[in-house]
Amino acid sequence: MGWWFGRILTFEIVADVAPSVGTIVDDIAAGAVDCAVSEPIGGYAATGRSMADAIEPLVESFAIQLRDRVLRSLVESAPTAIADDELGCSVDEKPAGRIEREQEPASSLPGSVLVSYYDRERDYQTGQARSDLVDQSSTEEKLELPAVVEASNARALAEQIMARRWAQRDKLVVRLPPEFTELQPGDIVSVPGSSTRWQVARSTIEGMVTVVELRPSWRSVATLAAEAGRALPGTDVVMENVALALVELPDIAGNAGSTPTLYLAASTPAPTWKRLPVEISSDGFAFGSRIAARKSVLGMTSAVLGEGPTDDLDTLNSVEVQLIDDAQWLSSCDDATLAAGANLALVGDELVQFADAEAIGPGTFRLSKLLRGRFATEGSTATHSSGELFLLIEPASLQSVALPPSARGAVVTATYHGAEGGVSASLMVDGRSLRTGLFIDGEKVVGGRVSAISSPAGGLTVDAEVRTAVSQILGALRTHGLIDS
């Protein structure tokens, strides 16, 4: 048995000056997008199966539109005026509508827009900005923007997306003379009889008639006041000085199998905890595992535990233990709880129970009123030394490791590969985890089969009734396999 310490490296990354949206889009698309949006953002996580997937959140948030067969950001320009007599053109001089108007139903439009982003003021945790319409019960539209933006800018983006969705619910189709063939998507036009500025969404040529689909133009919303909110406490505390212990325990739970089982314990002085990966290896095998979901109560003794009785409560001896994590605690228990199996711990090779735990320093306890040699470990009561392993037996803090049959008699090693090197613990597997008897309250009541016992015979005085009873007892022991036949 043994336990060892290791460390984990930490570092910080200092970023460059915040780039603009246009710079990020141009970098992702390798020049295929002409984006003039100069608004800076603190960073962007470009992910997806294609360039289109990577820049789609930016295109959606900042209204980058397709023009001249490339993506271009919207640029304010003077509208192209359409005269009243230029409406309603047709190829064969048949009557054509001057203006065709359609409107999407309100139920198909969002009643709220939710933008998720990364907020620098909240330690780059995820923030949310929302835009809601009063008395509107339509569905919510969600946009995950993997960019670092300010809370006020995020709110402006949410309001802008909402305004664009509702402004563009109207659609006009106008038929114009050939001189309007140069209209391109994104151009702004003015339509007679309408005070709204319209934007070209689509332009096609039918004969000599230019058929233009228009959507209402919209303006970007100015930066709005918004509060970033409070950052959640960081959980990225570094786990350092990790200690491992690999132990083989007797069949405490009564469910031992035909192959050995080890238990992996781990602890650290750090206040955080997570399941670290470990490698279990020996000469004939190697496989992966993890430490338990809970930190083990692990430490070492600072004094020698003297030899004591195993058939009664040991009130003469005590042992002092120093825990690896000073924040952990050992509690006393009453006699009834002790008899029920509480406070079971491994000290060296001996399993003991303690009734009294006296705190004598930070993470240091004196354990007394002991039940010794539990689960057939009475042979270890005289083998103690200072600085040996102490482990509180708590199933939730121990990771079981099932081994192949060939592991018995071999040395097994558990290794955690940290940033500064490996941390390991090794153990010789002696098979004590295999079923060796039936235990009740830590006491073995049925053990392995013993040698045969002959039935009574001979002697000067013969008591037939006694000999019959003894023969029946021996027969029952043979039947249950407790003695050889």
Torsion of CA 163, 166, 167, 171, to 10 degrees: 160
Torsion of CA 355, 361, 363, 365, to 10 degrees: -20
CA neighbor of 364 nearest in space, from 416, 403, 324, 311: 324
DSSP 482: S
User: Is the separation of the CB atoms in 291 and 400 below 8 Å?
Assistant: no
From first to last of its 485 residues, what are the pLDDT tens digits of the chain?
Answer: 444 444 444 445 555 667 787 788 777 777 667 777 777 887 787 777 777 777 788 777 777 765 544 555 555 667 888 888 888 888 777 777 888 888 888 777 888 888 888 887 777 788 888 888 766 656 888 888 888 888 888 888 888 888 888 877 888 899 898 889 888 888 888 888 888 888 888 888 888 888 999 988 766 655 556 565 665 555 555 677 899 999 999 888 777 677 899 999 999 998 888 889 999 999 989 999 999 999 999 999 999 999 999 989 999 999 999 999 999 999 999 999 999 999 999 999 999 999 999 999 999 999 999 999 998 899 899 999 999 999 999 999 999 999 998 888 899 999 998 766 789 999 999 888 876 655 554 455 556 666 778 787 877 777 778 888 888 888 887 777 777 76
Residues 6+ apart with CB under 8 A from 294: 273, 394, 396, 397
pTM for the full predicted model:
0.49
Which amino acid appears at position 304 of this protein? V
350 forms beta bridges with 347
Pairing relationship of beta strands 100-103 and 197-206 according to DSSP bridges: unpaired
Q: Which residues of 144-175 are buried (b: 16+ CB within 10 A; e: fewer)?
A: ebbbbbbbbbbbbbbbbbbbbbbebebbbebb
At 70, list the tokens: 């490339």
What sign results for the dihedral spanned by CA atoms 156, 162, 164, 166?
A: negative
